[in-house]
Amino acid sequence: MDRFVQFLRRQLDIDLELLRVAREDAETGSTRACLITPIRGFRECELKARLLTTHHHCGSGEGPCDALGESYPPEDERGCPTRALLGLPYADRPGYSARWRP
Ligand SMILES: [Zn+2]
């Protein structure tokens, strides 16, 4: 596994642990500050917006996943696996369709 992937997986593990602590604090009424900051939230929104822009045309024949043969058929609103995964964090929001799950 290359160093970049190792770095990213480690960061995800750290974030998951921080979120577990924050959830535990919320459940127990603890007042410790959550260590995942709003700045992180903004960065993650920027990441998702950039990925969505890159994959905007997937499934139409004009996207990068179309060129790779990895897009979904035109009738599938998700477009490609990347777009489907971008929707996953919002699966509990009103308007999310169960058929959009990756
Ligand atoms: Zn795509």
Q: Which of 91, 92, 48 is nearest to 100 (CA)?
A: 91
pLDDT digits (tens, 9 = 90+) for 6-21: 888 898 898 889 888 8
Percent of the chain with pLDDT over 90: 63
pLDDT of residue 1: 58
Q: Are residues 42 and 32 in the same domain?
A: no
Q: Are residues 62 and 95 in the same domain?
A: yes
pLDDT digits (tens, 9 = 90+) for 54-69: 999 999 999 999 999 9
Q: Token pair for residue 11?
A: 């960061």
Range of the domain at 32: 1-36
SS (H, E, C) 40-81: HHHHHHHHHHHHHHHCCCCCCCCCHHHHHCCCCCCCCCCCCH
Expressed in angstroms and rounded, the spacing between residue 59 Cα and the centre of ligand 1 is 7
Question: What is the domain count for the chain?
Answer: 2
Expressed in angstroms and rounded, the spacing between residue 12 Cα and the centre of ligand 1 is 22
pLDDT of residue 37: 80
Expressed in angstroms and rounded, the spacing between residue 1 Cα and the centre of ligand 1 is 24
What's this model's pTM, rounded to 2 decimal places? 0.80
Distance between CA atoms of residues 49 and 87, nearest Å: 11
Q: Are residues 4 and 49 in the same domain?
A: no
